[in-house]
């Protein structure tokens, strides 16, 4: 009676070490991120929510604001939420019948360093990384001899940095010299007349939030 011997696949300890090595795992993640970016650029993949976007990719954001319309006053007041902004970082312009508030909020050095490290890590081929680990050409991120530290990483990214932009409709004839602004405690207060000096009041409705509209009714 002959017996059949079962043949099981043989996995060398060296290959298992490579697959579980942090550098190899990070290389796989980098390759996956790169493929996603390629699919987005090709129109094959669409980002639905901005929270899931790559934090290293700078995007323009819209600062939140409140608009105050006092019937007893000839001016409108808008208050913008812009913490971490200096006066030199903000630009106010009148263009195309709108008051344009734009500028840039810069990331603190620690966050900027981590974002740059993330950008530098993309893209890399995981197969090439595995071959380099086996051959010993790729060194670990932490050198036990030199004591080089691992690069900083973003473990939670909720703050918005980069370019910001907001446009508010204003009556025709309003000039930039009619607009005043003050920045204090991260709040930008902008004031402009409801109508140009020497002219009748125009039918320009200030921005109204849905909550304020419901309260008015």
Q: How many CB atoms lie within 10 A of CB 52?
A: 8
CA-CA distance, 207 to 65, in Å (whole number)? Answer: 10
User: What pTM was estimated for this model as a whole?
Assistant: 0.54
CA-CA distance, 154 to 108, in Å (whole number)? Answer: 13
Which of 164 and 1 is assigned the larger pLDDT? 164
Q: Work out the pLDDT band at 79, boundaries 50, 70, 90.
A: very high
Output the pLDDT for position 182: 96
Res 211 pLDDT > 70:
no
Res 53 pLDDT > 70:
no
- Taken in order of first residue, the domains within the chain and their CATH numbers are 13-53+108-140+153-158 (no CATH), 60-106+161-196+204-217 (2.60.40.790)
Output the pLDDT for position 33: 75
Res 172 pLDDT > 60:
yes
The answer to whether the CB of 61 falls within 8 A of the CB of 53 is no
- Out of 27-31, 121-125, 173-177, the most confident range is 173-177
Which of 173 and 140 is assigned the larger pLDDT? 173
CA-CA distance, 189 to 69, in Å (whole number)? Answer: 13
Which of 121 and 82 is assigned the larger pLDDT? 82
- Tokens at 94, concatenated: 């009148």
Q: How many CB atoms lie within 10 A of CB 102?
A: 16
Res 183 pLDDT > 80:
yes
Res 191 pLDDT > 60:
yes
Least confident of 53-67, 79-93, 151-165, 176-190: 53-67
Mean per-residue pLDDT over the chain, rounded: 73
Res 17 pLDDT > 90:
no
Whether omega before 123 lies within 30 degrees of 0, making that bond cis, reads yes
């Amino acid at each position: 009676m002959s017996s059949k011997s079962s043949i099981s696949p043989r996995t060398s300890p060296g290959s298992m070490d490579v697959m579980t090595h942090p550098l190899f795992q990070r290389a796989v993640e980098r390759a996956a991120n790169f493929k996603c970016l390629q699919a987005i650029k090709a129109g094959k993949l669409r980002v639905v929510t901005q929270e899931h976007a790559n934090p290293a990719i700078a995007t323009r954001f819209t600062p939140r604001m409140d608009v105050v319309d006092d019937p007893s006053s000839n001016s409108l007041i808008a208050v913008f939420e812009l913490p971490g902004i200096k006066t030199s970082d903000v630009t106010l312009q009148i263009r195309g019948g709108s008051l344009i508030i734009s500028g840039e909020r810069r990331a603190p050095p620690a966050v900027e360093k981590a974002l740059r490290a993330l950008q530098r890590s993309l893209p890399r081929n995981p197969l090439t990384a595995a071959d380099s680990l086996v051959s010993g050409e790729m060194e670990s991120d932490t050198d036990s001899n030199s004591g080089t530290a691992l690069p900083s990483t973003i473990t939670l990214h909720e703050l918005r940095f980069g370019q910001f932009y907001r446009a508010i409709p204003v009556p025709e004839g309003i000039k930039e010299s009619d607009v005043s602004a003050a920045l204090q405690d991260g709040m930008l207060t902008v004031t402009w007349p409801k109508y140009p000096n020497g002219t009748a009041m125009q039918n320009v409705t200030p921005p109204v939030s849905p909550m304020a509209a419901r309260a008015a009714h």
